[in-house]
Amino acid sequence: MSSAEPKVLWEPTAERIEQASLTRFARWVASARGLDVTGSYAELWQWSVDDVDGFWAAIWEFFAVDASAPYEAVLGARDMPGAEWFPGARLSYAEHVFRGKPDSALALQHASELRQLDWMTWGELRDMTARIATGLRFLGVEAGDRVVAYIPNIPEATAAFLACASIGARLIAFTSGRSRVLPASTNIVSAVAWASISAPAQLPTAAEAHNVAAVLRPRTLVPSFMMTPAPRKPMPETT
């Protein structure tokens, strides 16, 4: 075995390092916490493992996590597995995803066997998420419910996940095949709804839908909204 130093394949430029969120965070820690971890990544990493509570409390504050109810402690339980993070806190994941995102800026780029390369802005993703959330609420979905979606890996799946998160529901998504359902069946048998959210060109066949419903056996609700792929449009700004 050679003892030569491994070849470095890539290094960030000084400009990229200067603009990195990690750099800003380290400087903020030095200023706000009086702890100088700006010397190297190793110093910052070492602090993160030596003072887990202090590190994650700093992350929460630096990124201005907006919670309707504050956390009582960083770690309520330290068992692994089973660690309990930020007990008592209540917040919206979807709200934080969309926070500060201009409507005209690029959110997603996507392509599939049935769709050419296309893109979606933050405004479009926000609008689709709101429409799905409204439809799910109309169908009776509430916080704590599980929504099972027969949906391929397309932008609508992202919007469906964010819509469920905005309600406080869980989304369990799969693409096809009975075998993809069975491992999750014990967790979703008490689900209140099965939502099939997909583009018209990618809807499940009747036989596939029957198999899904037969395995899940929850109250089956068919959403009254469908997403139709929009015509290709000019690519938005990436800022």
CATH number of the domain that residue 174 is part of: 3.40.50.980
Which pLDDT does position 235 carry in this prediction?
Answer: 63
Please identify, among 62, 91, 120, the residue that sits at the C-terminal boundary of a domain.
91
**Does any domain span residue 193?**
yes
pLDDT digits (tens, 9 = 90+) for 26-51: 999 999 999 999 999 999 999 999 99
Q: Are residues 167 and 193 in the same domain?
A: yes
Q: Are residues 116 and 36 in the same domain?
A: no
**Does any domain span residue 205?**
yes
Q: Are residues 117 and 78 in the same domain?
A: no
**Does any domain span residue 3?**
no
Which pLDDT does position 163 carry in this prediction?
Answer: 93
Please identify, among 35, 67, 91, the residue that sits at the C-terminal boundary of a domain.
91
- The rounded distance, in Å, linking the Cα atoms of 26 and 23 is 5
Q: Cα 137 vs. chain centroid, distance in angstroms?
A: 20
At residue 172's C-alpha, the angle toward residues 170 and 178, to 5°, is 155
Which pLDDT does position 151 carry in this prediction?
Answer: 74
pTM for the whole structure: 0.70
Which pLDDT does position 5 carry in this prediction?
Answer: 85
Which pLDDT does position 1 carry in this prediction?
Answer: 56
Which pLDDT does position 130 carry in this prediction?
Answer: 94
Q: How far apart are the first and last CA of the chain?
A: 46
Q: Cα 101 vs. chain centroid, distance in angstroms?
A: 15
- For residues 112 and 154, the answer to whether their CB atoms sit within 8 Å is yes
Count: domains in the chain: 2
Q: Are residues 40 and 123 in the same domain?
A: no
**Does any domain span residue 62?**
yes
Q: Are residues 60 and 138 in the same domain?
A: no
Which pLDDT does position 236 carry in this prediction?
Answer: 66
Q: b/e string for 44-70 if b means 16 or more Cβ within 10 A?
A: beebeeeeeeebbbbebeeeeeeeeee
**Does any domain span residue 115?**
yes
The whole-number mean pLDDT for each consecutive block of 10 residues of the chain, a chain of 239 residues, reads 81 93 96 94 95 96 95 92 93 95 94 85 95 86 81 85 92 61 35 35 46 42 39 59
Expressed as residue numbers, the domain containing 69 is 14-91
